[in-house]
Structure 1
Amino acid sequence: MHVVKSDKLRLIYVTNPKAASSSIFKLMLALSGVQPNMPARKALRRDSFKAIARDAGVSRIKFSRKRARRFQKRHANYTFFTFVRDPYSRCVSNYYNKLNRVAKEYSRNDYYFAKAMQIASGPAAWSSHLRGIAFLKKRISFEDYVRLLREHGIDFSHHFGLQRTAISYNDLKFDFIGKVESFDYDIDVLLGNAGAARTNDDKPTRENVSSGKQDMNDLLTDDLKRAIYAMYQPDFETFGYDRSF
């Protein structure tokens, strides 16, 4: 698992993929006086930028779930927080942004076809995986995608697994769990509790926003909602999301 720690703010963010994590990385850096000239997640992987962030008291730390309680005990004076997302919305977002991972795992012929089409499109198409996903969506419908997850499982990637598992919900005691659906309000509550505040300059535009309410309404039939709920029932129940079908 990964966390982002800010010594200045005394905050530790437990990362949760596809739940505004890129935006939270960017905000924690901004509040510590660091403004990367690239996406925050990418910057925190570069050694040169890691040193800059470390000097500002921000670090990205990886450790096993077995060490989670020990890590929290060593940081007892920090606020541990995370953000979660409606499982329906997260599933739709993954279709738009991570379909290539499902295809590579469970539908290899479609994956290689999309890769070939992306390569054939020329150098301008090579840098973004989204160009490959555009081809994949012509071969794998949202219904097909949900069926693949139901048949083969969601544990092949932390982007698709349970959010409970991603954040080590059973091992960590959280001081604050926000929701993507009320992101700005919850961030301000969190920072207020921590004795910090955002200025207008510290309010980043959400990064990697890959699906909206209209997309959900267009894609989610009652049958597909039932299938998604069956896979993600623990997240619905733990974080209080409405299954509504």
Structure 2
Amino acid sequence: MGTSRMFRIFVVLGSAFMILLIIIYWDDVGASHLYLHTPVSPGPKIPHPPPHHHHHHQPQTSRTPSFLSDIDAFVNQFLEPGTGEPTDPAPADTSNQSEKAEERYVPRREWKIHLNPVAAELRDRQEQRRRLLQEMCANDSVAFPGKNRSFDDIPNRELDHLIVDDRHGVIYCYVPKVACSNWKRIMIVLSESLLRDGVPQRDPLAIPRDLVHNSSMHFTFNKFWKRYGKFARHLMKVKLKKYTKFIFVRDPFVRLISAYRNKFELRNENFYRRFAQVMLRRYANQPTPPASVDEAFGGGIHPSFSNFIQYLLDPQTEKEMPFNEHWRQVYRLCHPCQIQYDFVGHLETAEEDAEHLLRQLRVDNVVEFPTSHRNLTASTWESDWFSTLSAEARRELYKLYEPDFRLFGYDRPDSILNE
């Protein structure tokens, strides 16, 4: 009888352990994506407690073991963050793979050894931006919907802008009209989600634009439910704790101008049908706008910038559907009061910030941020664009985007608001 009971106990324990391994090891949690030749890159500099030695066991009466704590312990084996400083030793070469894998995989180059630390000015800039976010999130004078909710309260559909790279331990929240195409390219290169002739694509600019914005190319938080089921939210928290999280932002008003120029001054059939026709009917005295964008442009018809702003300020707009991602506020896309970002880049300092970030992630030997030669919207154009709006409309628009101005350190545009 005792032997039979012990056998059943071993079967139950063995089954539970195998389920744990399948859940954690089958999919790409941390370095468990079976890419053991590439270690997870370190996160931001975090002081570590002294290591515990086996002969100094601490009593653990404060918490009882659980299935989720077992997950944490397992994942932590792979995700222990380093300092990211040049003095960190290069990771050991663990590229012992099968001959077949070696044939298709091109090993990464040796990690760069930086003799000089990151400039103090750049480190201070990041510290100021992170501190500002924390202060604004704790400041009652800055109020906006969803500010005080917990991460668990964020609906799954609102987590679709958080891209995860498990190979290097990176989470990127992309903001449209803030160089997100190039940052998405970098995330594809890092995650090796695009293969060419069996070899991961290494050149960001060689990735076609239609693939850059193809959701199947990116593993985002809102996809966790399908992959991890009831453990999805817990695993999100594990990765948010262990991975390096970054975001790039820009002046909110300039971002609106950029969105208008890109989506309504250029031929875009999708945006014409979904948004431009609505704007023309409601605000441009066009009860029957042209059926297609080609027909509209052929007749010189498209919504004005003033029509676009009217659309944003109209309460009816969000009653019908949430703002499109190209003009949705950053605080709604990336939840900066629920997610503590380790790096906050500004488009206005994009080149310096990109170099600093890639070096902090220790992937600057793997990929470089593509230099954009496209016609960028300049902040000096703001007064010209907004001169077509009434003073009341300009002030109402500022109220709509004020949280983004204050969270990310952009000055109140008094010259525009007081004209």
Structure 2 Cα separation of the partners of residues 196 and 206 of structure 1: 20
Q: How does 1:30-179 map to 2 (within 5 A)?
A: 30=189, 34=201, 35=203, 36-39=206-209, 42-43=211-212, 45=214, 50=217, 59-63=218-222, 70-99=235-264, 100=272, 101-108=274-281, 113-116=289-292, 118-119=294-295, 135-136=301-302, 140-152=303-315, 153=317, 155-179=322-346
Please give the per-residue CA displacement for 1:121-180, whole angstroms capped at 9, x wherever unaligned: xxxxxxxxxx69x741xxx32223212211235633222221101012232121111111
Please give the per-residue CA displacement for 1:164-203, whole angstroms capped at 9, x wherever unaligned: 010122321211111111111111121222223268x723
Find the residue that maps to 1:89 and give its secondary structure. helix
Question: How far does residue 22 in structure 1 lie from its aligned partner after superposition?
Answer: 0.6
Residues 30, 63 of structure 1: alpha-carbon distance in 2 compared, 3 angstrom cutoff: closer
Residues 80, 69 of structure 1: alpha-carbon distance in 2 compared, 3 angstrom cutoff: farther
Question: How far does residue 62 in structure 1 lie from its aligned partner after superposition?
Answer: 4.4
Give the alignment's Cα RMSD to 1 decimal: 3.5
The alignment status of 1:229 with 2:395, answered yes or no, reads no
Please give the per-residue CA displacement for 1:95-123, whole angstroms capped at 9, x wherever unaligned: 11234354244444759635435158xxx
Residues 106, 194 of structure 1: alpha-carbon distance in 2 compared, 3 angstrom cutoff: same
Structure 1 Cα separation of the partners of residues 355 and 386 of structure 2: 31
For residue 56 of structure 2, what is the aligned residue in structure 1? Answer: none
Instruction: Calculate percent identity across the aligned residue pairs.
Output: 25
Structure 2 Cα separation of the partners of residues 94 and 111 of structure 1: 24
Structure 2 Cα separation of the partners of residues 68 and 111 of structure 1: 47
For residue 125 of structure 1, what is the aligned residue in structure 2? Answer: none
Question: How far does residue 235 in structure 1 lie from its aligned partner after superposition?
Answer: 0.8
Find the residue that maps to 1:42 and give its secondary structure. helix
TM-score by length of 1: 0.72
The alignment status of 1:238 with 2:401, answered yes or no, reads no
Question: How far does residue 85 in structure 1 lie from its aligned partner after superposition?
Answer: 1.5
The alignment status of 1:186 with 2:353, answered yes or no, reads yes
The structure having more radius of gyration, on CA atoms, is: 2
Contact 2:184 2:212 in 1 (8 A): no
Number of residue pairs the alignment of both structures matches: 219
Please give the per-residue CA displacement for 1:57-115, whole angstroms capped at 9, x wherever unaligned: xx432418996675132453210111111111111112112343542444447596354
Contact 2:172 2:246 in 1 (8 A): yes
Q: Larger % of strand: which?
A: 1
Contact 1:81 1:174 in 2 (8 A): yes
Q: Larger % of helix: which?
A: 1
Question: How far does residue 232 in structure 1 lie from its aligned partner after superposition?
Answer: 0.5
TM-score by length of 2: 0.45
